[in-house]
């Protein structure tokens, strides 16, 4: 999602409906379609230059980069190697489009690769699967780390990988997102088939709601087991990431927009940032722990792009835990016009690799009734409501406070 756009986290799947045969057949058909699209796209992207179209290239003009061809459809994406974030980029390196295989040649040299995503973009998810396959071909020692599963269901994920439970149980007990079948199933199945560890990296939603409602002090009321589901250290200090998040809040239509002009509003914004930081620190701690448990392995972490873009968020928190790690970021960039795709020069700093993607359609048009969306958001918030009361050390929170805002 764009930094200034709120998108709802996918809701928990209705396990009963997943067992219905019609739904199962539909999911199977979608998966087959994804597989066929992958084959078509791979053959299209791997076509030698000169046979069907010229190789992808970029032209710089007036502070922008423009691709030499249109994006053909929603699945069609282009990777652009920037070498941003590298302390010593290769000599003679320049901004250039690359194939998935060429990107993997570069990314295989990193300890951790963050693949920032738009959660509901099929082209991004197809690229993730293609990259995991290419990375594995170069080195079989990879860990798949997922924001999309929470720490308290790690045992469920492990049972699925070991064949002790089926997919329906994984989806139900693991609280899989409702786009699991079409977006994350291919990656998890690949990991299962090739015996790769999979990390449920995120903190539980209800725990994040607690921090957003009451502030970090609420963590002191958690049981020892619950406390282990959130990072031991949560960094809420000022900096570029905090500024970016507060800007997101000020432009969020759900949050109400506008700057935090009163002490009460400023305190609420700080609590919201604390919740965001708890998510980032938890994922960073999960990645660091995976590297410690699996010496010699590398990590591919899938996450909403807000958490990794510009090497902020989870990335900077992982570096706090291990400054020696070599970290790469793939950052999605929605082009404004797929017929003449381009991006601003300042987007280059977003990642080691940019992924130019077809724009996601607007959720609503001007004047459309958005009541159903607001109702859905309220239901998601209620499902993740904090079960603990206000800690004694925290400031009172007015009744009717807004749901914690996710920046993905």
pLDDT at 52 over 70: no
Q: Is the pLDDT of residue 181 over 90?
A: yes
Entry pTM: 0.83
Residue 5 included in any domain: no
CATH number of the domain within which 176 lies: 3.40.50.11550
Looking at residue 289, its pLDDT comes to 98
> Quick one: pLDDT at residue 385?
84
CA–CA separation, 208 and 316 (whole Å): 20
Counts for the chain of helices (H) and strands (E), in that order:
13, 11
8 lies in some domain: no
Contact, 81 vs 353, CB < 8 A?
Answer: yes
Residue 227: what pLDDT? 98
Give yes or no for residue 23 having a pLDDT over 80. Answer: no
pLDDT score of 7: 40
Residue 164 has pLDDT above 70, yes or no: yes
Residue 356: give the domain boundaries: 15-362+369-383
What whole-number distance in Å separates Cα of residue 142 and Cα of residue 140?
6
For residue 145, how many C-alpha atoms fall within 13 Å in the half-sphere facing its CB? 31
> Tokens representing 317?
């928190």
Residue 362, pLDDT score: 87
Per-residue pLDDT for 383 more than 50?
yes
> 10 Å Cβ neighbour count for 324?
6
Tell me which of 65-79, 265-279, 296-310, 363-377 is least confident. Answer: 363-377
Residue 259 belongs to a domain? yes
Query: Is it the case that residue 166 has pLDDT exceeding 80?
Result: yes
Burial of 60 (0-12, 13-18, 19+ CB in 10 A): exposed
Between 287 and 265, name the one with better pLDDT. 287
For residue 370, CA distances in Å to 16, 296, 334 come to 28, 49, 24
Domain count, the chain: 1
Q: Where are the beta strands (DSSP E) in 151-222?
A: 198-202
pLDDT at residue 150, as a whole number: 98
Please give the residue that has the higher pLDDT: either 42 or 203. Answer: 203
> Is the pLDDT at 9 greater than 80, yes or no?
no
What was the pLDDT predicted at 94?
A: 80
Name, in order, each residue with C-beta under 8 angstroms of 97's C-beta and a sequence gap of 6 or more.
55, 56, 57, 58, 67, 78, 79, 80, 81
Confidence of residue 138 (pLDDT cuts 50, 70, 90): very high
Instruction: Give percent above pLDDT 90 in the chain.
Output: 68
Q: In whole angstroms, what is the distance from residue 303 CA to residue 124 CA?
A: 11
Q: What is the pLDDT of residue 408?
A: 82
DSSP 8-state secondary structure symbol assigned to residue 239? S
| The predicted structure's pLDDT at residue 403 | 52
What mean pLDDT do residues 269-275 have? Answer: 95
329 membership: H or E segment, kind and range: strand 327-334
Q: Please report the sign of the dihedral spanned by the C-alpha atoms of residue 158, residue 162, residue 164, residue 169.
A: positive
For residue 400, the model assigns a pLDDT of: 42
Residues whose CB is less than 8 angstroms from the CB of residue 63 and which lie 6 or more positions away in sequence, other chains included: 344, 345
User: How does residue 31 score in pLDDT terms, banded at 50, 70 and 90?
Assistant: low
CA 71/CA 358 separation, integer angstroms: 7
pLDDT of 392 > 60? The answer is yes
| 68 occurs within a structural domain | yes
| Whether pLDDT at 222 is above 90 | yes
> What per-residue confidence (pLDDT) applies to 179?
96
**Neighbour order of strands in the sheet with 353-357:** 96-98, 78-81, 353-357, 327-334, 112-117, 298-304, 142-150, 198-202
Mean pLDDT, residues 89-105 taken together: 86
Mean pLDDT, the chain, whole residue set: 85
Q: Is 9 part of any domain?
A: no
Read off φ and ψ for residue 340, nearest 5 degrees.
-140, 70
pLDDT of residue 86: 79
DSSP assignment string, 62-95: TTEEEESS---STT--EEEE--TT-SSPPTT---
The answer to whether position 146 is within a domain reads yes
| 213 is a domain residue | yes
Q: What is the per-residue pLDDT for 371?
A: 78
Whether pLDDT at 41 is above 70: no
Quote the Cα angle for 373-30-363, to 5°.
Answer: 20
Which has more confidence, 89 or 30? 89
Structure confidence at residue 33 (pLDDT): 47
Residue 15 in this model has a pLDDT that exceeds 50 = no
Asked if the structure places residue 404 within a domain, the reply is no
Radius of gyration in angstroms for the set of CA atoms belonging to the chain, rounded to a whole number: 21
Does pLDDT of 242 surpass 50?
Answer: yes
> 45 or 261: whose pLDDT is higher?
261
**β-bridge mates for residue 329, sequence order:** 114
Report pLDDT digits (tens) over 145-161.
Answer: 999 999 999 999 999 99
Inter-residue contact 289 to 256 (CB < 8 Å): no
Q: How confident is the model at residue 406 (pLDDT cuts 50, 70, 90)?
A: confident
- What are the Cα distances from residue 286, in Å, to 111, 204, 333, 385? 14, 13, 26, 24
């Amino acid at each position: 999602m764009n930094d200034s756009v709120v998108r709802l986290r996918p809701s928990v799947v209705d396990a009963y409906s997943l067992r219905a045969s019609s739904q199962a057949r539909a999911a199977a058909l979608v998966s087959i379609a994804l597989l066929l699209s992958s084959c078509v796209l791979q053959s299209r992207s791997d076509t030698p230059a000169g046979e069907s179209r010229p190789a992808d290239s970029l032209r710089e003009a007036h502070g922008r980069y423009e691709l030499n061809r249109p994006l053909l459809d929603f699945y069609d994406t282009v990777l652009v190697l920037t070498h941003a974030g590298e302390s010593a980029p290769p000599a003679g390196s320049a901004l250039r489009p690359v194939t998935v295989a060429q990107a993997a040649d570069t990314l295989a040299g990193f300890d951790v690769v963050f693949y920032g995503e738009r959660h509901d973009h099929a082209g991004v998810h197809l690229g993730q699967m293609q990259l995991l396959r290419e990375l594995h071909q170069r080195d079989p020692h990879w860990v798949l780390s997922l924001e999309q599963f929470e720490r308290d269901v790690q045992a469920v994920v492990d049972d699925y990988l070991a064949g002790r439970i089926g997919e329906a149980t994984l989806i139900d007990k693991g609280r899989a997102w409702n786009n699991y079948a079409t977006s994350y199933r291919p990656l998890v199945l690949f990991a299962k088939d090739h015996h790769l560890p999979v990390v449920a990296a995120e903190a539980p939603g209800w725990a994040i709601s607690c921090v957003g409602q009451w502030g970090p002090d609420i963590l002191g009321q958690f049981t020892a087991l619950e406390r282990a589901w959130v990072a031991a250290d949560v960094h809420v200090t000022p900096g570029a990431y905090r500024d970016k998040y507060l800007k997101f809040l000020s432009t969020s239509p759900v949050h109400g927009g506008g700057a935090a002009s009163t002490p009460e509003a400023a305190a609420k914004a700080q609590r919201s940032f604390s919740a965001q930081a708890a998510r980032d620190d938890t994922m960073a701690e999960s990645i660091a722990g995976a590297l410690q448990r699996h010496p010699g392995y590398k990590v591919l972490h899938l996450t909403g792009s807000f958490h990794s873009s510009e090497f902020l968020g989870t990335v900077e928190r992982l570096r706090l835990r291990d400054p020696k790690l070599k970290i790469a970021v793939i950052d999605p960039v929605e082009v404004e016009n797929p017929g003449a795709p381009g991006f601003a020069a300042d987007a280059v700093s977003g990642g080691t690799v940019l992924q130019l993607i077809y724009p996601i359609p607007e959720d609503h048009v001007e004047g459309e009734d958005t009541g159903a969306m607001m109702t859905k958001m309220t239901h998601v918030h209620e499902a993740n409501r904090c079960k603990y009361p206000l800690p004694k050390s925290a400031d009172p929170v007015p009744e009717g406070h807004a749901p914690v805002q996710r920046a993905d």
